[in-house]
Amino acid sequence: MVRINGEDKAAAGKSLCDYLQEAGYDRRAIAVEYNEVILPKQDYETTVLQDGDVVEIVCFMGGG
């Protein structure tokens, strides 16, 4: 299982790019932290998710 935004997902073996697309994320609007390191967008295709990975997918929201 891969821990994505605090939830376990059966995403091991998929590229991050494929996961984001399948899950319905808008790539323009997000930033990804992969095992505590910010992942440049050009690495989304080549990053393959593995069991135990921790991924945070964030975006801007309204705030003060």
Partner 1 sequence: MEKQEDCLVIGGHRFYSRFILGSGKYSLQLIEAAVRDAGAEIVTLAVRRANTKEQENILDYIPKGVTLLPNTSGARNADEAVRIAHLARELGCGDFVKIEIMRDSKYLLPDNGETIKATERLAKEGFVVMPYMYPDLNVARDLVEAGAAAVMPLAAPIGSNKGLATKEFIQILIDEIDLPIIVDAGIGKPSEACAAMEMGAAAIMANTALATAGNLPLMAAAFKDAIAAGRKAYLAGLGRVLTRGAAASDPLTGFLHD
**Residue ranges in contact with partner 1 by CB under 8 A:** 5-6, 23-26, 28-31, 33, 38, 56-64
CA–CA distance, 16 with 32 (Å, rounded to integer): 9
Query: Nearest approach, Cβ of 54 to partner 1 (angstroms)?
Result: 13
Nearer to partner 1, 1 or 59 (CB): 59
57 φ/ψ angles, rounded to the nearest 5 degrees: -120, 115
The answer to whether the CB of 40 falls within 8 A of the CB of 31 is no
Enter the tokens of residue 30. 């997000």
Nearer CB in complex with partner 1: 33/51: 33
- Closer by beta carbon to partner 1, 17 or else 30: 30
